[in-house]
Amino acid sequence: MDRAHETYNSEEGAERLLKEAFGVDEDRLLGDFLRAQTEVKDPEILQSPDGGFEKLVNAIEERHLTAAGRQTEREEEKESEKPLSSFRGARRRRLAWKAGIVAAAVALMMLGMAITAGAKKNYQYSVRQRDSLKNDMLLSNVDTLPEEDRLEEAYQEISGQACIPVLRLGYVPERLTYLKTEIVKNPVIRATMYFRYGDRRFHVVQQTREAETSVNVISDRMDYESVYNELLKKEIVIRRVKTEAGEEYSACIVDGDSYYQLSGGMEEEIFRQITENVYLEN
């Protein structure tokens, strides 16, 4: 009964020590540690009260000394109380386990703080990196961001003036720079978008036919390959010609009364990616 009470007190004592030191129970400590590993924010990190750590260490040492004293007494008793040895062994193991829990909690707490600090540093660093990257993008792409805006404006203008589903580039290569859009509305509605790709040019023609029309498109490009556009659910034929300036490609897409043509000089892979990623916005 006494032993059971003592064991109960030991368990209680360990938890009490933790609560006194940190004001929380061991589950919370372990939870906080795990949370600390996943980069919690500063305000969420558990703060130890002033002198809490020292208080806990002192209490553990005191407890350890007391337990050691009791253990010596028990070892003396062991000689006279052989039948109880197995129970005592179990109790010692429980005590050792409890002491281990407390020590582990302290170690985890310290390690957790260290890891948290490390993680926090990494987190801050990566955030700075991200922010920096964003800023870099903003700064280094000062010339391109307004062009993206201008490209968006061009799409809006075509959509508004031409009243046709606008063919948009789902993939805009890094070297592709939007230049301008020319829209004619009479007798047909036709928008021609001009881009620069390095020293070469890339054009996107968007047109709708509302009346009987005969059109003749002349180019020296020949059928080369076909690609499948998932967004349009269409097989698109790519035409190619080799010139002194390099290879030039074109692709034509017909959608009801509207037709679209992409053409320009660039690498085959780039043109293929553009073709595979164009889509119609209604």
Partner 1 sequence: MKKAGRIAALLTAAVFLLAAAPPARIISTATVELTSLENGKLGILIETLAEEECEEIVNIAVLECRQKDGSWKEVARYEYRAEKEDFPTEDLSGMTNTAVSERQKIGRYYRIRGIHCAWAGGQSQIVSSRTEPLQASRCSG
Binding site for partner 1 (CB under 8 A): 179-180, 182, 184, 186-188, 190, 192, 194, 196, 199-201, 203, 205, 209-220, 243-245, 248, 250, 261, 263-265
Look up residue 142 and give its amino acid: V
Look up residue 246 and give its amino acid: G
Q: Compare residues 113 and 166 and give the one whose CB is closer to partner 1.
A: 166
Cα–Cα dist 63/73, whole Å: 15
First CA to last CA distance, the chain = 82
The minimum distance between CB 44 and partner 1, in angstroms, equals 54
Look up residue 160 and give its amino acid: G
Buried b (16+ CB within 10 A) or exposed e, 21-43: bbeeebeebbebbeebeebbeee
Structure tokens at 180: 């301008």
Q: Compare residues 22 and 259 and give the one whose CB is closer to partner 1.
A: 259
The minimum distance between CB 136 and partner 1, in angstroms, equals 28
Residue identified by tokens 């870099």 is 136
Q: Compare residues 38 and 216 and give the one whose CB is closer to partner 1.
A: 216
Q: Compare residues 92 and 200 and give the one whose CB is closer to partner 1.
A: 200
Q: Compare residues 170 and 198 and give the one whose CB is closer to partner 1.
A: 198
The minimum distance between CB 211 and partner 1, in angstroms, equals 4
Long-range contacts of 41-50 (CB under 8 A, 24+ apart): 42/120, 45/113, 45/116, 45/120, 46/22, 48/21, 48/22, 48/109, 49/21, 49/22, 49/23
Q: Compare residues 190 and 272 and give the one whose CB is closer to partner 1.
A: 190
Residue identified by tokens 């062009």 is 147
DSSP letter at 81? Answer: -
The minimum distance between CB 119 and partner 1, in angstroms, equals 51
The minimum distance between CB 261 and partner 1, in angstroms, equals 7
The minimum distance between CB 137 and partner 1, in angstroms, equals 25
Q: Compare residues 258 and 263 and give the one whose CB is closer to partner 1.
A: 263
Cα–Cα dist 1/75, whole Å: 19
On whether the CB atoms of residues 250 and 239 are closer than 8 A, the answer is yes
The minimum distance between CB 179 and partner 1, in angstroms, equals 4
